[in-house]
Structure 1
């Protein structure tokens, strides 16, 4: 298998799994055992390709928030989920996204400085997939019970924004957790009872988070480019571009599909997938593999 085909497959895997609550990092770490190990720059960079798809899908929503943030009285914005927002609502939403991002940025830098990171072996990923499956079912169950008592809540509170920021930090420390799953179900469990609203916030907070992570990694690589072991001198940029484009295209399709799916379905199918996949990894992959 040629290197470009391997990069294409990794890009497709990233694009499909980045926003489905099944862990893109976990799938990429496992796929690399058959398709070859890639640099941190490659893995984070193709995640940015998937985030680009969300920017395109939510471009009107993002423009509305940007306009409202700077005080322009733009008309109500119609987003992909059919939700309209006034300038005041868009402004408040933007500030909550900034709060969540600030928590993630500070927590992420602290985690990196302290060196907290699980080994990227299959067994911890498998357990994260399994435990995440039960977390998903429990969170959605309690959110449904709360919605039945109080009615569906679509608003994102400041508490939810902070907890979503912390959830992204946890997902970064534990490969296999899934950033989208951690953020969606943190929102469902501690605030909003709407799958659509929780999913949208998880998607939108991923934009600054992943672009910042990509920029941080790129600066680090360029700063060490002159060193013998620098990643920039060894990176296959053709393969990177192929994977980036594949990730963006497949993520666009996956996000569009998921936005339709959650209108009438729970996340149970994803929880079952995580459970089956995690158990299969524990049974089929040797300890420490």
Structure 2
């Protein structure tokens, strides 16, 4: 059983690492995967997400350091302020949603529909953005809408935080895929650290860590970190010359398959 638990943890770590920053929804994939591999504790889910955040922080460490050390430069200061505002919007709205007692759905059907609708939305966003000049500028409307999009993605598993923020940025005026992706990922770093810390402290306060399988958790954490690093590096290279269409098609196909599985009772 121990070996099986470690294998399951490894698989979940791989899934988290691949899906956290690709626009295909990590939460949706993990919720479905846990129906077959067994549900994991809140602490486990928080820790493997932390692994993915650490990976993307490593990738962007020079950019982050440049924003901090180059604060006096108007361009850096403007960009950093927009990151901060987007984060604060997410934090305030996210806490409001938490206070209202919102719980993530665990059924496959709403996740499947979110995957399909999100896929169609991505195709439309690519098409609409292609008709505009290739601007790399992050405007204030882009920053505000990205902050809101992060909360919407958190409320509807299957939406994808990265997908929602990237394509909102593209539709709001940052038509360049690389520029939109960078801003979306940089906003995601403090957002995900804060959300993970908040949830971890709440979990430790309410449940503690009694009975936690630390070996499996460690395996999942390391796996998530390594796989996320590779996945993000690949994505940043891929989007230089390719559209996001392949991810949109994948989402639509996966959503349709999940609806089929649900209708036959193979998942709930």
> 1:183: which partner in 2?
165
Using a 3 Å threshold, how does the CA distance of structure 1 residues 117 and 221 change in structure 2: closer, same or farther? closer
Q: Which residues of structure 1 form unaligned runs of 5+?
A: 72-86, 225-229
Q: 2:42–2:203: 8 Å Cα contact kept in structure 1? A: no
In the alignment, the residues of structure 1 paired with residue 105 and residue 237 of structure 2 have an alpha-carbon distance, to the nearest angstrom, of 36
Q: Which residues of structure 2 form unaligned runs of 5+?
A: none
Residue correspondence of structure 1 range 3-42 to structure 2 within 5 A? 3-42=5-44
* Superimposed CA distance per residue, residues 119-155 of structure 1 (whole angstroms, 9 cap, x where no aligned partner): 22100000000000111011111111012xxxx1001
1:116 shift after superposition: 2.8
> Normalising by structure 1, what TM-score?
0.88
1:90 shift after superposition: 1.7
Instruction: Give 2:110's match in structure 1, choosing from 119, 124, 131.
Output: 124
> 1:89: which partner in 2?
75
In the alignment, the residues of structure 2 paired with residue 231 and residue 217 of structure 1 have an alpha-carbon distance, to the nearest angstrom, of 12
- The reply on whether 1:223 has 2:209 as its aligned counterpart is no
Matched pairs, number: 264
Q: 1:41–1:214: 8 Å Cα contact kept in structure 2? A: no
* Superimposed CA distance per residue, residues 188-217 of structure 1 (whole angstroms, 9 cap, x where no aligned partner): 111200000011111111110111111101
- The reply on whether 1:57 has 2:31 as its aligned counterpart is no
Residue correspondence of structure 1 range 105-120 to structure 2 within 5 A? 105-120=91-106
Q: 1:15–1:246: 8 Å Cα contact kept in structure 2? A: yes
Q: 1:68–1:90: 8 Å Cα contact kept in structure 2? A: yes
In the alignment, the residues of structure 1 paired with residue 189 and residue 47 of structure 2 have an alpha-carbon distance, to the nearest angstrom, of 13
- The reply on whether 1:247 has 2:229 as its aligned counterpart is no
In the alignment, the residues of structure 2 paired with residue 184 and residue 116 of structure 1 have an alpha-carbon distance, to the nearest angstrom, of 25
Q: C-alpha root-mean-square deviation of aligned residues, in Å?
A: 1.3
* Superimposed CA distance per residue, residues 37-63 of structure 1 (whole angstroms, 9 cap, x where no aligned partner): 012222122111111111111111110
> Normalising by structure 2, what TM-score?
0.95
Structure 1 stretches of 4+ with a deviation exceeding 4 A read none
In the alignment, the residues of structure 1 paired with residue 104 and residue 17 of structure 2 have an alpha-carbon distance, to the nearest angstrom, of 24
